[in-house]
Amino acid sequence: MAKKLKEYAPTTYQDFAKPAVAKKQHDAIVAVRKKFGKKYPLIIDGKKVMTENTHPSVNPAATSEVLGNFSMATKDHAEAAIQAAAKAFQKWKNVPPAERASYLFKAAEVIRQRRNEINAWMISEVGKNYLEADADTGEAIDFLEFYGREMLRYAGPQPVTQNPGEQNQLVYLPLGVGAVIPPWNFPFAILVGMTSAAIVTGNTVVLKPSSDSPMMGWLFVEILNSLGLPKGVVNFIPGDGGEIGDYIVDHSQIRFISFTGSAGVGKRIYERASRTPDNQLWLKRVVAEMGGKDAIVVDSEANLEDAANGVVAAAFGFQGQKCSACSRAIVDRKVYDQFVQMVKERVENIEVGDPMENKAMGPVASQRAFNTIQKYIEIGKGEGKLVAGGSIVEGASGWYIQPTVIADVKPGATIEQEEIFGPVLAIIKARDFNDALNIANGTKYGLTGAVYSENKEKLERAANEFFVGNLYLNRKCTGALVGVHPFGGFNLSGTDSKAGGRDYLLLFLQAKSIATKVNSAPAAKKVAAKKVAAKKAAKK
């Protein structure tokens, strides 16, 4: 008899304030550092494929350190991966949903056992501190547990209205071969969530990890392979976007593209996926989460201590490199000066340093980000008043930028409109609550937002008028939990896919209605027999 599943609940984070807990994590980092510098293959149809062309995964806190050198796929490798996935799909689509879900549950258990090790690789590869890394790994566990249970729900009887004379049912079928293109900022959680949702629904995958975090993709594929996942179900092909990205998206055998990243790349994928060459039998489905320009509104009736803490945590957690990060604080003029001072004091106390030592704020993840963020800071200095930070950390061995706050920014300014994806906060003065909501809604994005106010009527207005996919009232705008806060945004924040929600798996499924006519002959005989019996009874 199958073991009964416990009710789903989000993973509890480790408490690194406890010295013993922090020491275990530090020891895990020391252990994985001994494995730095190895070469890693592609995985195509279950086979390891080494290539001459490799790409280094670099420690952003010490850029001379290479975690590993990853084989880079060519178009020929991409083609082989797509064909392997297409072949595997013919069997995988018929594997019972419960069996597919079991791979997710088993993977979740392995990740629990290797939690600190996975955290350690993440801390080393993208510069997260201990808690940010642990939350990322915990979210990966949650995606596996939640989506496994969701597949069991979709595999069960679906509620449809029965029509007299028919037996009616609705069943869900997988789509086919999908391209999974995850980001580097939640390098394990989002990659695991996107990949597991695709395969538990019966699809097969060509996985192209971010070039900034290929190790995290390798770890997950390694775990799946250790559990005996059939070859070809997940094919691992790191590669340059310019070399293989368009090729995969354009391919006529790709049925869907699951993407998380910038609006620019997402729009390009959406456009290219809309094409329907003659040898393609379907309209491709695009699942896209494309970032935001998220705001926290601080009302004149807010608890300013809570608001300042929330804004700083949401703006500078993981160096502001979250699509949900607060990059705009919109503050009522009645409390503006006081609030700016409170933020300044908190930001100046942020300790910047090596994530290996669990400093509050580490480096940004890449040279590209390092350069881009500096350009935005210089633009911001001309658009407002520099309150804190504003430069790189001199003498550092990695890509460190000071947490930066620029106040007195006007609505419509560059740093108020464009996604910076770094430790830069713009503070905007609003005339009143109405003005603040208008400013908050005045971008092309609509991902997350928050409002701090003790006025219930204003909170109700925000619930109705603040146009974002994830709204938080009197709390920070980051930290969505799987199953608790289904995640996805409006406008150019993407397709509002609601990852970690009850609708998400539908994006990887297609519904089939089946109506069976009920044979009426036996029923008619029963009716006739009843009539005869009734007549006999009447004669008696």
pLDDT-derived band at 17 (thresholds 50, 70, 90) equals very high
- Residue 524: the pLDDT is 47
- The two counts, helices (H) then strands (E), for the chain are 16, 21
Q: What is the pLDDT of residues 152-168, one digit of tens each?
A: 999 999 999 999 999 99
Instruction: Tell me how far apart the alpha carbons of residues 488 and 501 are, in angstroms, rounded to a whole number.
Output: 10
Instruction: Tell me how far apart the alpha carbons of residues 442 and 450 are, in angstroms, rounded to a whole number.
Output: 15
pLDDT-derived band at 527 (thresholds 50, 70, 90) equals very low
> Coil, strand or helix: which one is 32?
helix
CB atoms within 10 A of CB 457: 9
Handedness of CA 46, 47, 53, 55 (dihedral sign): positive
Question: Residue 102: phi, psi to the nearest 5?
Answer: -65, -30
Q: What is the pLDDT of residues 50-107, one digit of tens each?
A: 999 999 999 999 999 999 999 999 999 999 999 999 999 999 999 999 999 999 999 9
Q: Round to the nearest angstrom and report the end-to-end CA distance of the chain.
A: 55
Burial class (CB in 10 A: 0-12, 13-18, 19+), 230: middle
Q: What percent of the chain has pLDDT over 90?
A: 95
Contact 490/446 with Cβ under 8 angstroms?
A: yes
Mean pLDDT estimate for the chain:
96
- Residue 2: the pLDDT is 56
Instruction: Tell me how far apart the alpha carbons of residues 447 and 325 are, in angstroms, rounded to a whole number.
Output: 10
Q: What is the pTM of this model?
A: 0.95
Axis crossing angle, helix 130-155 with helix 189-200, rounded to the nearest 10? 10
CATH of 40-290+503-513, one of 3.30.450.20, 3.40.50.300, 3.30.1360.40, 3.40.605.10: 3.40.605.10
Active-site annotation, residues: 289, 323
Q: What is the pLDDT of residues 361-391, one digit of tens each?
A: 999 999 999 999 999 999 999 999 999 999 9
- Residue 439: the pLDDT is 98
pLDDT-derived band at 536 (thresholds 50, 70, 90) equals low
> Coil, strand or helix: which one is 5?
coil
Q: Who's near 189: CB < 8 A, 6+ residues apart?
A: 136, 137, 139, 140, 143
Q: What is the mean pLDDT of residues 337-346?
A: 98
Q: Which residues pair with 511 in a beta bridge?
A: 172
pLDDT-derived band at 468 (thresholds 50, 70, 90) equals very high
3-state secondary structure 496-528: CCCECCCCHHHHHEEEEEEEEECCCHHHHHHHH
Handedness of CA 193, 198, 200, 205 (dihedral sign): negative
- Residue 1: the pLDDT is 38
CB atoms within 10 A of CB 279: 7
Q: Give the full edge-to-edge strand order of the sheet including 294-298.
A: 385-388, 404-407, 424-430, 326-332, 294-298, 448-452, 470-473
Instruction: Tell me how far apart the alpha carbons of residues 504 and 494 are, in angstroms, rounded to a whole number.
Output: 14
- Residue 131: the pLDDT is 98
| Statement: 294-483 belongs to CATH 3.50.50.60 | no
Contact 238/41 with Cβ under 8 angstroms?
A: no
Instruction: Tell me how far apart the alpha carbons of residues 439 and 67 are, in angstroms, rounded to a whole number.
Output: 43
Contact 367/413 with Cβ under 8 angstroms?
A: no
Tokens at residue 55, please?
């790409």
- Residue 520: the pLDDT is 62
Contact 139/113 with Cβ under 8 angstroms?
A: no
- Residue 519: the pLDDT is 82
Closest CA to 185 of 143, 238, 245, 122: 122
Question: Residue 496: phi, psi to the nearest 5?
Answer: 50, 50
- Residue 532: the pLDDT is 58
> Coil, strand or helix: which one is 99?
helix
DSSP 262: -
Instruction: Tell me how far apart the alpha carbons of residues 85 and 349 are, in angstroms, rounded to a whole number.
Output: 50
Residue extent(s) of CATH 3.40.309.10 domains in the chain: 294-483
pLDDT-derived band at 4 (thresholds 50, 70, 90) equals confident
Closest CA to 485 of 471, 465, 468: 471
540 pLDDT more than 90: no
Instruction: Tell me how far apart the alpha carbons of residues 372 and 377 are, in angstroms, rounded to a whole number.
Output: 9
Closest CA to 321 of 454, 424, 230, 235: 424
- Residue 425: the pLDDT is 98
pLDDT-derived band at 330 (thresholds 50, 70, 90) equals very high
522 pLDDT more than 70: no
- Residue 382: the pLDDT is 98
Q: What is the mean pLDDT of residues 184-202?
A: 98
pLDDT-derived band at 531 (thresholds 50, 70, 90) equals low
Q: What percent of the chain has pLDDT over 70?
A: 96
DSSP 2: P
> Coil, strand or helix: which one is 90?
helix
Question: Residue 285: phi, psi to the nearest 5?
Answer: -100, 135
For 218-259, the DSSP string reads HHHHHHHHHTTPPTTSEEE----IIIIIHHHHH-TTEEEEEE
Q: What is the mean pLDDT of residues 490-504?
A: 97
For 282-318, the DSSP string reads SPPEEEEE----EEEEE-TTS-HHHHHHHHHHHHHGG
Contact 331/426 with Cβ under 8 angstroms?
A: no
Helix runs in 114-236, H state only: 115-126, 130-155, 189-200, 214-226
Residue extent(s) of CATH 3.40.605.10 domains in the chain: 40-290+503-513
